[in-house]
Chains A and B, each alone.
Chain A
Amino acid sequence: MTKEDCKKVVLDIISDIAPDEDVSNVKPDVRLRDQLELDSMDFLDIVMELRKQHGIEVPEADYMQLASLDSSAEYLTPKFNELGK
C-alpha cells in the first residue's frame, strides 16, 4: 500500500464519521481538526474503524500521529504493509 492509498483509506473513514463534511478538498498537510469539524470522539471513531475494518491498532500514545492525512499516512502505511495490505 502506498501512502496515497493509505490517505484514501483514512479519508473514506472520515467521510463516514463526518458525513456532513466535504472531504474532497482536505489538505494533507493541515491538521484534520483545523479543516473539518472533528472532535475527540470522532478521532476515537477513526481508531475504531481502523481496528474494525483493517485490523490496525493505534495505541493511545500514537493518536497524535493521526493529526493530518500526511502524518496518518506516514504512521499507518507501514502498519498496513506489515499486515500485507
Chain B
Amino acid sequence: MPTPGGFDNGFDGVEFHGPTELGLRLGRIGVKGGGIASATWRDGMRHGLAGHLFDGGDDFQHGGGITRAEIVEESGAGRGELIKDGDVRAAKIVDMHVIAQAGAIGRVVVVAEYLERIAQALGGVDGEGNQVRLGIVVFTDLSIFGGSGGVEVAEGRETEAVGVRERFERVFDIELGLTVGIDRRLGHRFGDGHLGGFTVGRAGRGEDELFHARTVHATQEVQGGGDVVEIIFERIGDAFAHVGEGGEVHHELDLLFAENLPDLLFVAEIRRIEFHVLRNRLAMTIDEIVEHDGFVARSDQLTDTVTADVTGSSNNKNVHFQSVVLLSCHDWLALFLLIVMKRTRIVITGVGLTAPNGNSLQEFRQNLLDGNAGVGRMDIRYMGEQLAGICDYDALRYQKKKEVRVGTRAGSISIYCAREALADSGVDFDSVEKDRVGIYIGCTEHGNVETENEIYNISQFDYDTKYWSHYHNPRTVANNPAGETSLNLGITGPAYTIGAACAAGNMGLIHAAQMLRLGEVDFAICGGVSESIRTFGIFAGFKSQNALATHEDPNKASRPFDTDRNGIVISEGGALYTLERLEDAQARGAKIYGEIGGYHVNSDASDYVLPNPTRQAECVRKALQNAELEPSDIHIVNTHATATPLGDIQECEAIRAVFGEGCPDTSINNTKSYIGHCMGAAGALELAGNLPSFDDLTVHPTINVDNLDPKCDLPGLVLNQPRKVAKVDTILNNSFGMLGINSTLIVKRFVP
C-alpha cells in the first residue's frame, strides 16, 4: 500500500513492513528540494522491490542486498542511482553529482563504498554554489569506513571510531546534519562523540536474542506533514546506544536529548517521534527522554515500538517533533531514519458561505446575533410542504446559466462559496499556481437529488430509460461539487469531496490542513456543502425515523436543548474557507481569521444512526490533546445538537464528561437553532458563525430554548441572548454523523 504524503525537502511517505527482515517501504520520498522520490523497500528486503529505491533486492544477509536503487528527485533536483550487485558493500553511488548540481542534496544519502566518489560528486557545494548541508545521512555498512580510514572495525570489541563524521565533513567539505550510522560489523560503537550513530551490538549475545520480536507493523510512519527542518544535531554527542562489554546495552539517549533538544528548538518544530527499536529498554528510555524539560509526552509503548508525541514549548515557540522515525531492521543492518519535520501552522484566510439566513459571513453573523432564524417552507416531491432551510444566494454571480443548468445544486453552492472565500481572502488568484490548489469539500451524500429527478423524469415517459439524462453520471459522481468548483475556477490541483455524513464540514477543513502540512498543496479551498433539501428521500427518511421537526412557526422548529424539540429541520447551505500555511499567508499580508488549533476524527463503531457519547467525548478529548489545550482553555463549544430528543442529550452527556464544572470560561452554543441542520455544510457553517467571536467577543446564543431540557442543562450554555465574554481565544466545533463518524475541530485566535 503506497503511503501518501509529501514534504518539501524530505520523505514523502514511508511505510515499513516485513516481519522477519524488517522491511522498509518508502512510498515517495523527498518530493521537493531534495531527497529521494519514489522509493520502495519492502518485504523485509528479501524480495524484489517494486521498482524504486531498492529494487530487486535479494537478501541482505546473504549478500543479495540492494541490487538497484534509484534516488529520483522530482522538482528538478536531479537523480542519483545506487546500483550494486550482490552485496551492499559493493554498492556504488553514481550520478550523485546530479543531485548536488540540482542544488538539493538528498536528505538521505546511502553511503556505501565510494566515499571519494561521493565527495567528488558532491563537491561541497550545490548547483548554485551554496554550501552543501546534508539533512540526513544514512550510513549503511560502516565497515567500509575501515577501508577508507574512517572507522576501524573489529568484531567483538569496542572500537574507537576515528571521527567518521569529521572525516566525512572534511572529505566532502560539508556540514553534516543528522548522521545515522549503521554498522554492519556488530558490536561496535562508532562516532566517538562526533558521529551520531547507532550501533547494533551482538557482542555476547546471540543473534536471535538481539533481534528478538522485531514486529513492525505496516505503519504510516509519516503523517501530519510539513517541511523538513534543517535540524543540525551539532551536539548529537554520543551514540544512541551502544553495546559495551558483556553485551550490555547502554543508553545515552537521555543525555543526547537533554543536551541537544533545547538547541533544536531554535531551529525546528518537531512533533512526533516514532522509534522502532530493538528492545523495550530503549523504547522506555526514549519515553523517559521525551519527558525531559517539561515536555509533555504520550506514548503507546508496544513490545518494541514506542510512539511519542512530543509537545512543549521553548524559546517562545511551540515545539513539536513531527515525525522522527527510527527503525531497526536486519540483524546485521540497523537502519535509522530520522525524519524531522516541523508542524506547519495553518491559518484561515477567507470565508465564503451561504446559509438559510445569510449569504455572507457578515449577514450570517448579524442574524445570529439578532436572533433571526432562516427556516421556511418548501414543497417536497411526493410529500407536500415541509420545513426547510433554503438558501437564496445568487448563483448567477459566479456561474453561467448553462453551468447552473448542467451542474448540480451542490456544485453551485460550492462554486458560490469558493468564489466568495477567494474574494474574501484577497489572494491574487490569477497569480496562484492552479496545480498547487486543493479543493476539499465535505458532503453528507451526493447524487440523491439528481437520481430522484431522473427517476421522476422517466416516470413521465413510462420509465423508458432512453429519456434518462446523459448528465446523470457527471452530476452524481461523489466528487461532483469539488469537480464543478475546479472547472469553474480552473484549478488543476486535487479536487474531491469527503463523504462523512454530517461530520463532513469539519472534515473538509481538517483534511485541507493535513494536505497543506504534507506539502501536497499550497492553497486549499475547503469546508462543506449540502443540497439535501432538494431530495425528498432525506425528508422521508427522517420522517420514517420520527426525526423530522414540526412546528407551526418554521423559525421555531429547530430547537436544540428545548424540552419541546421534536426533530431535525433539514437545510441546505455551504461554507468554504481558504486555508494556507501561515508563512504563505503572512508573506502576502493576508487577513487571518484564525489558526487551526487541533482536531480529531473517530468512529463510534456502534450503530448506524444512534450516537455514542463515549466516542464523542473521546473525539473531543483527543482534539484537545492534539491542540495541546485543556478543556478549560476552550471558550466556545459549538455543539452539533440537531434537536432530536435523544441525540441532544447524548451530546450533552459527552460535553459534560469533558468540560464538566471546571470550565468557567467555556460558553456553549448551537447554530442549528437558527438554520436547521445543513448536513454536510453544518460543521463548516457553524464554525463560520462563531469565527467573528474572536473579534467581537460575543457568543451567539442557542435560540428557541423556551424550556431548557434539564438533561441538556450544561454549564455555560448561552441561551436566547448573545453573551459578551472577556475573551475568546478558542472555538471548539463538534460535528457528528451517521454511521458514527465524529469530528472535532479547534480553531484558535491567531497570535503571530
Contacts and interface: CB of A to CB of B under 8 A. Distances in A.
Contact of B402 (A20, A44, A51, A52): A20
Contacts of B402: 17-20, 37
A41 B466 contact: no
A48 interface: yes
A52 B471 CA distance: 15
B467 A48 contact: yes
A37 B406 CA distance: 14
A20 B400 contact: yes
List the 8 shortest-distance A-B pairs measured between CB atoms, nearest first.
Answer: A19-B401, A20-B400, A44-B470, A20-B401, A20-B402, A19-B402, A18-B402, A52-B467
A19 B407 CA distance: 13
Interface in B249-308: none
Given A19-B401, A20-B401, A52-B461, A41 B406 contact: yes
A23 to B, nearest CB: 13
A37 B402 CA distance: 10
B576 to A, nearest CB: 24
A19 B467 CA distance: 21
Interface in B314-356: none
B469 interface: yes
A48 B471 CA distance: 11
A21 B461 CA distance: 29
Nearest to B461: A52
Interface in B403-426: 405-406
Interface in B456-471: 461, 466-467, 469-471
A17 B470 CA distance: 13
Interface in A2-39: 17-20, 37
Interface size class of A (residues with CB under 8 A): 10 to 19
B470 A19 contact: no
A19 B406 CA distance: 11
Given A44-B470, A52-B467, 20 more contacts: A17-B402, A17-B405, A18-B402, A19-B400, A19-B401, A19-B402, A19-B405, A20-B400, A20-B401, A20-B402, A37-B402, A41-B406, A41-B470, A45-B470, A48-B467, A48-B469, A48-B470, A51-B466, A51-B467, A52-B461
Nearest to A57: B466
Contacts of A51: 466-467
Contacts of B405: 17, 19
Nearest to B469: A48
Nearest to B467: A52
Interface string B468-487: 01110000000000000000
A18 B469 CA distance: 16
A20 B402 CA distance: 6
Contacts of B406: 41
Contacts of A17: 402, 405
Contacts of B467: 48, 51-52
A52 B406 CA distance: 17
B471 A41 contact: yes
Nearest to A18: B402
Contacts of B469: 48
A66 to B, nearest CB: 15
A41 B401 CA distance: 16
Interface string B1-23: 00000000000000000000000
Nearest to B405: A19
Contacts of A20: 400-402
A41 B406 CA distance: 10
A13 B447 CA distance: 26
Contacts of B471: 41
A35 to B, nearest CB: 16
Nearest to B399: A20
Contacts of B466: 51
Contacts of A18: 402
B520 to A, nearest CB: 31
Contacts of A41: 406, 470-471
Interface in A35-80: 37, 41, 44-45, 48, 51-52
Nearest to B400: A20
B50 to A, nearest CB: 39
Nearest to B404: A19
Nearest to A19: B401
19 contacts: A18-B402, A19-B400, A19-B401, A19-B402, A19-B405, A20-B401, A20-B402, A37-B402, A41-B406, A41-B470, A41-B471, A44-B470, A45-B470, A48-B469, A48-B470, A51-B466, A51-B467, A52-B461, A52-B467
A48 B464 CA distance: 13
A60 B402 CA distance: 24
Nearest to A41: B470
A7 B467 CA distance: 23
A18 B402 CA distance: 6
A78 B432 CA distance: 54
A14 B461 CA distance: 22
A61 to B, nearest CB: 16
Nearest to B464: A51
Nearest to B396: A20
A48 B466 CA distance: 9
A7 B114 CA distance: 80
B104 to A, nearest CB: 43
Nearest to A45: B470
Contacts of A48: 467, 469-470
A44 B466 CA distance: 12
Kindly name the residue among B401, B402, B405, B461 whose own CB sees the greatest number of chain A CB atoms within 10 A. Answer: B402
A45 B470 CA distance: 8
A38 B156 CA distance: 80
A64 to B, nearest CB: 18
B405 to A, nearest CB: 6
A41 B469 CA distance: 10
Contacts of B461: 52
Contacts of A45: 470
A10 B471 CA distance: 20
B480 to A, nearest CB: 15
Contacts of A52: 461, 467
Interface in B141-177: none
A19 to B, nearest CB: 4
A22 to B, nearest CB: 12
A19 B401 CA distance: 6
A40 to B, nearest CB: 9
Nearest to A16: B405
Nearest to B403: A20
Contacts of A19: 400-402, 405
Contacts of B470: 41, 44-45, 48
A18 B471 CA distance: 15
A18 B406 CA distance: 10
A51 to B, nearest CB: 7
A52 to B, nearest CB: 6
A44 B401 CA distance: 18
A18 B401 CA distance: 8
A19 B403 CA distance: 9
A47 to B, nearest CB: 9
A19 B469 CA distance: 18
Nearest to A47: B470
B154 to A, nearest CB: 75
A17 B467 CA distance: 16
Nearest to B457: A52
A65 to B, nearest CB: 19
A19 B402 CA distance: 6
B473 to A, nearest CB: 11
Contacts of B400: 19-20
